[in-house]
Amino acid sequence: MQPFRIDIPQSDLDDLRERLARTRWPDEEPRGGWSYGVPLSYQKELAEYWGTRYDWRKHEARLNEYPQFTTEIGGENVHFLHVRSPEPDALPLLLIHGWPGSFVEFLEMIGPLTRPREYGRAPSEAFHLVIPSLPGYGFSGPTKQPGMDYKRIAGMFAVLMQRLGYERYAAQGGDWGSFISLEIGHKHPESVVGVHVNMLVTPPPENPKQLAKLKPKDREELEKMNYYAKEQSGYSVQQGTRPQTLSYALTDSPSGQLAWIIEKFYEWTDKKNLPEEAIDRDWLLTNISIYWLTATAGSSARLYYETMHMDGSPLPDENAAEQGPPIGVAVFPKDVSAPIRALAEEKYNIAHWTEFDRGGHFAAMEQPKLLAGDIVEFFSTLRGEKAD
């Protein structure tokens, strides 16, 4: 393992500003608003801010306040933060992001989770945090091998925890982080005391009789899933089928990379009009800058392709409830869709379930206090127990 420090060459920052200033803009959308995608007026204003007023160096310094490392696992580079709590009996916790996120998502939760005394919590609620960048994402750099699906990444992160000397630990994630953490718990129940997720996929039942038994609220959530599949899943289809073709545009045009990601922060956050109502604009741009400055638009998209083309079903195994550790679920109302508890309990060992009245898909950035509190509450019941 090698210590790592972020130090983007000034030439790369100058190049970003020059490219943004030379953006070749399309015509205005006929209807206005977001129905066609990111509106031209908003995109122009945000790109201008990114190129002239956003201060990468300021945020780079903040990121470098935390100890970072890189290591090679299975021929792939893995970048991660390793923030140990001052409390010696802290529970190791693996925090895993998804797309289009990064390790930046979790920064506001580091203090409350590692130093609970400073936030009015008991020292027994402390965690040692391991926050990796997914292979192919950000400072982990582009992946080098085919077949890097989420299950393979789960195996790599289990190795990472072993290398750090953690024989017993917890896992948490949203988006891809949910899939990966659940897979780690399923494959390594002897090590994982529990898994907490803030996104859980519960596909609709194939049996019409089972579907008819669902509550009206649950059927509404199924309609929300249908809306996502019809209106919001184009990015997933493109990244899951032809990520390389997409990568040329996103790697060459910062405005293209900006629009590709900011659209999701608009659609999946708890806001009234604009994504920065839910998440600070500078932190949105820090997250997007990491994709641009590391040229990982294409390799991050490949995770969709590899998972779509993996052997077997990408969904959890049927016996996950019997073999996996206890599962805690945090449900935020403006997520892509909410899980249906009756269906979740058929597949998982659900031990904790919280439904919040605010927050969206990027809960760690939108509502860090709520998410951190739910993580603490769930694992407080599992500390001192051995996973079996």
Alpha-carbon distance values, 81 to 127, 195, 367 (Å): 13, 19, 21
Average pLDDT of the segment spanning 217-243: 90
Least confident of 28-37, 163-172, 355-364: 28-37
Q: What is the mean pLDDT of the chain?
A: 94
Confidence at 239, pLDDT banded by 50, 70, 90 = very high
Is 82 part of the annotated catalytic residue set?
no
Question: Residue 76's beta-bridge partner residues?
Answer: 73
Q: What is the pLDDT of residues 284-338, one digit of tens each?
A: 999 999 999 999 999 999 999 999 999 877 666 655 556 689 999 999 999 998 8
Average pLDDT of the segment spanning 77-102: 98
Catalytic residue among 175, 218, 270, 335: 175
Among 170, 173, 187, 161, residue whose Cα is nearest residue 1? 161
C-alpha 47/C-alpha 20 separation (Å) is 7
Confidence at 219, pLDDT banded by 50, 70, 90 = confident
pLDDT of residue 318: 53
pLDDT of residue 384: 66
C-alpha 313/C-alpha 263 separation (Å) is 29
Q: Which residue has the higher pLDDT, 367 or 31?
A: 367
Is 374 part of the annotated catalytic residue set?
no
Q: What is the pLDDT of residues 345-376, one digit of tens each?
A: 988 999 999 999 999 999 999 999 999 999 99
Catalytic residue among 59, 79, 97, 361: 361
pLDDT of residue 322: 60
Half-sphere exposure at residue 9, Cβ-oriented, CA atoms within 13 angstroms: 4
3-state helix, strand, coil in the chain (%, to 5): 50, 15, 35
In a 3-state reduction of DSSP, which class is residue 245? Answer: helix
Q: What is the pLDDT of residues 154-166, one digit of tens each?
A: 999 999 999 999 9
Confidence at 387, pLDDT banded by 50, 70, 90 = very low
Catalytic residue among 150, 235, 304, 305: 304
Average pLDDT of the segment spanning 52-68: 98
Q: Which residue has the higher pLDDT, 205 or 378?
A: 378
C-alpha 137/C-alpha 303 separation (Å) is 10
| Main-chain dihedrals φ then ψ at residue 131, nearest 5 degrees | -125, 90
Is 175 part of the annotated catalytic residue set?
yes
pLDDT of residue 386: 42
* pLDDT of 86 higher than 90: yes
Burial state string for 201-239 with b = 16 or more CB within 10 A and e = fewer than 16? bbebbeeeeeeeebeeebeebbeebeebeeeeeebeebb
Confidence at 385, pLDDT banded by 50, 70, 90 = low
Specify the pTM.
0.95
C-alpha 279/C-alpha 35 separation (Å) is 21
Structure tokens at 341: 């508890």
Structure tokens at 298: 């294409």
